[in-house]
């Protein structure tokens, strides 16, 4: 069976083979600590064996609710922020028709809310929903995270006014804590159907829980295949796989060796816009997991060839602090040939008859050669195709490599203490109870209070 391919040979000019493979002992130690549950943040490693432990009953339960929402909804709104929406968004966008909102696909339109506090965005969403039958999936362990809580308050009111309180309750599904929190309390009070976020799985590692699986199923995609891909990745990256055959270990070693050699920024590169939100999910996974204690590789992303016309100049000739991780897709799901034109004013007849995917691959190879000439290290990843199976495989691969890499940096890859800083200031400025004194101080600093 074909598999995820990882090639780190284009790293060795910048971080030597000895540097990369010299990390084998610590990488192996960290992999074993992860599986033994002896590393930092070990109360949040429930995702580690999740793919192989998801039962058929669980998938059927998710599928049944998804079918019900699909039957009664033109639109399904997924309310969440961070890991509560990015994983589902990544998979749905990768598998969906690029113009799904303009062409009928037979599936509900899945849209997202609660990942910003933009007035225009939420106002326009409500305008869309005025003329659509819709349902809501609200995702939050606590139910009090500001952005999704605001969005859900708006949507709940809108839906209840539109269809009545009883019908609204049948159209709302809550994915939340098993026993505590505001959303759990509200769901019990209102009679919402619920799914549980495992207590030992953090948001950015939650794609393979109902957090990601329910929206993906609603969009019409096969969550069994997604989980199967992740389960195979779980096996391929386990403690029994030797270092030089373990893609998660090789990836963690290569990026940490580059980091030690002065490469502080990792750019995720894809050559299809379908993987744009996979990069966005990856950015959160690695940024929130590793950016601590004044350490960590800064994760960024580009869509090539589009961004070669905007960021290409900097990548080619800017400060040498960047390395690239390139995701290649071997096979396209569609076929489109470039036509011949007798006038040839655009001078493209030299590629007439070629598939667009072949031209795209030559653009990728040309870019790789140019960037290596420009002293940009490159890690190459390749999957056979964009499908549920391979997206599941990639997701688990990145999760596993992230945990190993965080341990190698010496940080806890499962917490996010820095995220709270902006919240405290926002609460104080908005006058939340308990933050009054801090609010006075901040307003004075901002010149809004004498």
CB 385 within 8 A of CB 15: no
Annotated catalytic residue, options 309, 319, 335, 420: 309
In sequence order, the 6+-apart residues with CB closer than 8 A to the CB of 208 are 47, 50, 51, 54, 226, 227, 230, 392, 395, 396
Q: Are strands 265-270 and 322-329 parallel, antiparallel or unpaired?
A: parallel
- How high is the pLDDT of residue 449? 60
Q: What are phi and psi of 52, to 5 degrees?
A: -80, -10
- How high is the pLDDT of residue 416? 84
Q: Rounded CA gap, 82 and 445, in Å?
A: 30
Annotated catalytic residue, options 288, 290, 324, 388: 288
Find the Cα–Cα–Cα–Cα dihedral 310, 316, 322, 325, rounded to 10°: 80
Strand order across the beta sheet in which 75-79 lies: 109-113, 75-79, 134-139, 172-176, 193-196
- How high is the pLDDT of residue 343? 95
Q: Rounded CA gap, 183 and 175, in Å?
A: 9
- How high is the pLDDT of residue 444? 75
- How high is the pLDDT of residue 442? 66
CA dist 173 to 122, 184, 188, 272, Å? Answer: 20, 11, 11, 33
- How high is the pLDDT of residue 1? 47
- How high is the pLDDT of residue 435? 75
Residue pLDDT tens, the chain, 450 long? 468 999 999 999 999 999 999 999 999 999 999 999 999 999 999 999 999 999 999 999 999 999 999 999 999 999 999 988 999 999 999 999 998 777 667 789 999 999 999 999 999 999 999 999 999 999 999 888 899 999 999 999 999 999 999 999 999 999 999 999 999 999 999 999 999 999 999 999 999 999 999 999 999 999 999 999 999 999 999 999 999 999 999 999 999 999 999 999 999 999 999 999 999 999 999 999 999 999 999 999 999 999 999 999 999 999 999 999 999 999 998 999 999 999 999 999 999 999 999 999 999 999 999 999 999 999 999 999 999 999 999 999 999 999 999 999 999 999 988 667 777 777 766 777 777 777 677 677 777 764
Instruction: List the chain domain ranges.
Output: 5-39+229-409, 50-221
Annotated catalytic residue, options 423, 424, 440, 444: 423
CB 428 within 8 A of CB 442: yes
| Residue that has been written with the tokens 């308990």 in this structure | 434
Active site residue 266: no
Active site residue 124: no
CB 95 within 8 A of CB 388: yes
CATH 3.40.50.10490, domain 50-221, yes or no = yes
Q: What are phi and psi of 266, to 5 degrees?
A: -110, 125
Count of H-run helices and E-run strands, the chain: 18, 10
CB 8 within 8 A of CB 254: yes
Active site residue 64: no
Judge whether 5-39+229-409 and 50-221 match in fold.
yes
| Tokens representing residue 310 in the block | 């905007």
Burial class (CB in 10 A: 0-12, 13-18, 19+), 298: middle
Predicted confidence (pLDDT) per residue in 259-274, tens digit: 999 999 999 999 999 9
DSSP string, 158-170: HHHHHH-HHHHHH
| Tokens representing residue 62 in the block | 């998710």
CB 174 within 8 A of CB 192: yes
* Superfamily of domain 5-39+229-409 in the CATH hierarchy: Glucose-6-phosphate isomerase like protein; domain 1 (3.40.50.10490)
| Tokens representing residue 209 in the block | 């829980």
CB 254 within 8 A of CB 313: no
- How high is the pLDDT of residue 450? 47
In sequence order, the 6+-apart residues with CB closer than 8 A to the CB of 221 are 91, 92, 95, 388
- How high is the pLDDT of residue 429? 66
**Sign of the dihedral through C-alpha 287, 84, 34, 390:** negative
* 3-state DSSP assignment of residue 408: helix
Q: Rounded CA gap, 59 and 298, in Å?
A: 36
Q: Rounded CA gap, 402 and 396, in Å?
A: 10
SS3 per-residue string spanning 227-271: HHHHHHHHHHCCCCCCHHHCHHHHHHHHHHHHHHCCCCEEEEEEC
């Amino acid at each position: 069976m074909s598999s995820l391919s990882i090639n780190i040979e284009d790293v060795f000019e910048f971080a030597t083979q000895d540097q990369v493979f010299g990390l084998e002992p610590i990488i192996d130690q960290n992999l074993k600590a992860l599986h033994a549950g002896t590393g930092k943040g070990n109360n949040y490693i429930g995702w580690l064996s999740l793919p192989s432990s998801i039962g058929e009953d669980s998938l059927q339960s998710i599928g049944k609710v998804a079918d019900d929402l699909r039957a009664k909804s033109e639109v399904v709104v997924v309310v969440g922020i961070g890991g509560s929406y990015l994983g589902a968004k990544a998979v749905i966008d990768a598998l969906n028709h690029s113009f799904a909102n303009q062409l009928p696909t037979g599936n509900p339109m899945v849209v997202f809310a609660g990942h910003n506090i933009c007035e225009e965005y939420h106002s326009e969403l409500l305008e869309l929903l005025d003329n659509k039958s819709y349902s809501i999936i609200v995702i939050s362990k606590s139910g009090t995270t500001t952005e999704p809580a605001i969005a859900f308050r708006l949507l709940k009111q809108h839906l209840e006014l539109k269809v009545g309180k009883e019908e609204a309750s049948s159209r709302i599904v809550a994915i939340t804590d098993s026993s505590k929190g505001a959303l759990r309390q509200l769901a019990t009070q209102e009679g919402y159907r619920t799914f549980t976020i495992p207590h030992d799985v953090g948001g950015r590692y939650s794609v393979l829980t109902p957090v990601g699986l329910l929206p993906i199923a609603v969009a019409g995609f096969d969550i069994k295949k997604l989980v199967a891909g992740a389960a195979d990745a779980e096996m391929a990256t386990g403690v029994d796989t030797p270092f030089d055959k373990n893609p998660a270990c090789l990836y963690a070693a290569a990026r940490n060796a580059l980091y030690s050699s002065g490469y502080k920024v990792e750019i995720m590169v894809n050559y299809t816009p379908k993987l744009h939100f996979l990069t966005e999910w990856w950015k959160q996974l690695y940024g929130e997991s590793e950016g601590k204690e004044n350490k960590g590789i800064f994760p960024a992303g580009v869509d090539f060839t589009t961004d070669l016309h905007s960021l290409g100049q900097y990548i080619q000739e800017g400060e040498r602090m960047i390395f690239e991780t390139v995701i290649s897709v071997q096979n396209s799901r569609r076929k489109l040939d470039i036509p011949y034109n007798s006038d040839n004013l655009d001078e493209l007849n030299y590629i007439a008859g070629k598939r667009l995917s072949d031209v795209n691959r030559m653009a990728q190879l040309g870019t790789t050669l140019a960037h290596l000439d420009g002293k940009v290290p490159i890690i190459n990843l390749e999957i056979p195709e964009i499908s549920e199976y391979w997206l599941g495989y990639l997701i688990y691969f990145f999760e596993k490599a992230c945990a190993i890499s965080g341990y190698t940096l010496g940080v806890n890859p499962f917490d996010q203490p820095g995220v709270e800083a902006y919240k405290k200031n926002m609460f104080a400025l908005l006058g939340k109870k308990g933050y009054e004194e801090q609010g006075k101080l901040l307003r004075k600093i901002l010149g809004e209070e004498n």
